[in-house]
Structure 1
């Protein structure tokens, strides 16, 4: 089985999700969404596509025109009910492809805190009571066709599902704590502007990171089992 991991900045990769994907039998290939865009056939026929995070947003289409084609590809894929996982920016692009909205929240949510999980949230139950990493400034606006499965105080939609074939995660459930320093340097300007306490972020990552890896991998494993015919 083929999995394409569509990235926007190289250090925001599959992280802790890579191992369970490989164990489930997926051959993983990375592509940059703008530099190596997917063909219509790849959007439609690839066994699994994971759309990863990044520092740009759905409002940046004028600056990054290839985002429009990415949204169109996601819409095509979801219309064919093909397995799709979106993380942070990826989840936001999925929401827009489904006719939803993504709006600037007015403040960055960066750091560790647990989610409020909705009843019957399936594989997301593994995250109940587990602090996860948040790193975003835009919010998905849930609607009738896009129900929030999890939220935090500042963020009304931290996760959503579409049937069993699509899952969107606004928070970074895939995060590998070993990658923290790459994230800190890659997002240095954003962190400075947000006034983020890097010492606290490092300490919280040491405390919560290993538990998130276990819970996040369990979420993905259960979701992949739901995909199995």
Structure 2
């Protein structure tokens, strides 16, 4: 399978997704959109992955390439490519589908529990998703659920944690791809900003939780396997 990745920030890489790609011997091409907006033709890949970043999906004036990226995502969706977005990636998908993205009243930083919705029961791509599961959150924005999309999971702080549009577009607000190394980089970069909040954990609360990383990666790999199977069927 051919994977194409859009990376929006130097620190927000594929993380644990690289492990899954390597294990399955798939190919991956990455465009660092903050430096390069020359996107691949949609005919050159099977799965498009859009990663996170600290910017808002609505900050096109400060980050002009965001508009180009959203237009490209719209094209991929129109051509019914499988699209998988994480955090900012999910917000860019929502924006490309016509939904507003905006600052949330609450920030989520740390390991928080999510709960699946009843709608998810009949969706094959989310087979194996537990009723409740814990993942890492790092966001201050949220979005309205796109018209025609199905909400898959929610948390106490943020309603739209996962959604699916049609049978080939998935957006996750959380970060199942994060590794312990990723979190160490996060603390090094923004640790001084973690001053507290109802849903903001301190570094000593969220670091060195290898058990939670293992659970999050299991959910991620299961979802990616389901996507891969659907691509092969298609």
Q: 1:138 maps to what in 2?
A: 141
Structure 1 residues 177 and 198: CA distance shift in structure 2, 3 A: same
Q: 2:179 maps to what in 1?
A: 176
Could you state the TM-score of these two structures normalised by the residue count of structure 1?
0.89
Q: 2:205 maps to what in 1?
A: 200
Is the deviation greater in 96-105 or in 189-198? 189-198
Alignment check: 8 A CA contact 1:44 1:82 kept: no
Alignment check: 8 A CA contact 2:87 2:174 kept: yes
Provide structure 2 residue ranges, at least 5 long, that are not aligned to the other structure: none
Q: 2:188 maps to what in 1?
A: 185
Question: Post-superposition shift, 1:123?
Answer: 4.0
Whether 1:149 aligns to 2:152 is yes
Q: Secondary structure in 2 aligned to 1:90?
A: helix
Alignment check: 8 A CA contact 2:5 2:29 kept: yes
Is the deviation greater in 93-102 or in 178-187? 178-187
Q: 1:77 maps to what in 2?
A: 76
Alignment check: 8 A CA contact 2:9 2:34 kept: no
Q: Deviations over 1:62-86 (max 9, x none)?
A: 1111111100000011011111110
Q: Secondary structure in 1 aligned to 2:214?
A: helix
Q: Secondary structure in 1 aligned to 2:109?
A: strand
Q: 2:3 maps to what in 1?
A: 3
Root mean square deviation, CA, Å: 2.1
More helix by share: 1
Could you state the TM-score of these two structures normalised by the residue count of structure 2?
0.87
Structure 1 residues 95 and 227: CA distance shift in structure 2, 3 A: same
Q: 2:27 maps to what in 1?
A: 27
Is the deviation greater in 48-57 or in 190-199? 190-199
Alignment check: 8 A CA contact 1:126 1:216 kept: no
Question: Post-superposition shift, 1:215?
Answer: 2.3
- Corresponding pairs, count: 227
Q: 2:87 maps to what in 1?
A: 88
Q: 2:222 maps to what in 1?
A: 218
* Counterpart Cα distance in 1 of 2:195 and 2:54: 14
Superposed, 1:45-64 pairs within 5 Å as 45-64=44-63
Provide structure 1 residue ranges, at least 5 long, that are not aligned to the other structure: none
Alignment check: 8 A CA contact 2:97 2:146 kept: no
